[in-house]
């Protein structure tokens, strides 16, 4: 559960940072948006280092959580409700994350 929550916070930091840059470029937002964007993306990178397993495994598993959180961002921030296919795809990604992170390993 701690792993999943850490991934959740990590995804929110990444999406928020990227969204702020997107808002600055796409919506003509002020350059001041780049400061919280940089802070959010730095937080994202730091949070990924808190996992005790190999970086490649963490990045692969994190991708599944990122997809699910991005769909909730789509709904909550962009106001677009995910389709049942979006949700089904996210469920598959979360299942993949669970296999990658929680499968029994030797040594």
For 70-80, the pLDDT digits (tens) are 999 999 998 99
Task: Return the pLDDT at 2.
Answer: 84
Instruction: Provide block-wise average pLDDT over 10 residues at a time, the chain (107 residues).
Output: 87 95 90 95 93 84 91 94 97 93 82
Task: Please state, in angstroms and rounded to a whole number, the distance separating the CA atoms of residues 87 and 30.
Answer: 34
Q: With left for phi above 0 and alpha for psi between -120 and 50, is residue 54 left, alpha or beta?
A: beta
Task: Return the pLDDT at 92.
Answer: 97
Q: Do 19 and 36 contact (CB within 8 A), yes or no?
A: no
- In our burial notation (b when 16+ CB lie closer than 10 A, e otherwise), range 15-42 reads bbbbbbbeebeeeeeeeebeeebeebbe
Task: Return the pLDDT at 84.
Answer: 97
Collapsed DSSP state (helix, strand, coil) of residue 81: coil
- In this prediction the pTM is 0.82
Task: Return the pLDDT at 95.
Answer: 95
Nearest to 40 by CA among 61, 13, 78, 22: 13
């Amino acid at each position: 559960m701690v792993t999943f929550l850490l991934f959740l916070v990590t995804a929110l930091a990444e999406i928020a940072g990227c969204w702020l840059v997107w808002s600055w470029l796409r919506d003509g937002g002020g350059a001041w948006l780049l400061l919280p964007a940089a802070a959010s993306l730095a937080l994202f990178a730091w949070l990924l280092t808190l996992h005790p397993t190999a970086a490649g495994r963490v990045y692969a598993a994190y991708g599944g959580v990122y997809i699910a959180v991005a769909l909730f961002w789509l709904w909550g921030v962009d106001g677009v409700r995910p389709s049942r296919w979006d949700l089904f795809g996210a469920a598959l990604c979360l299942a993949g994350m669970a296999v990658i992170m929680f499968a029994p390993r030797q040594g």
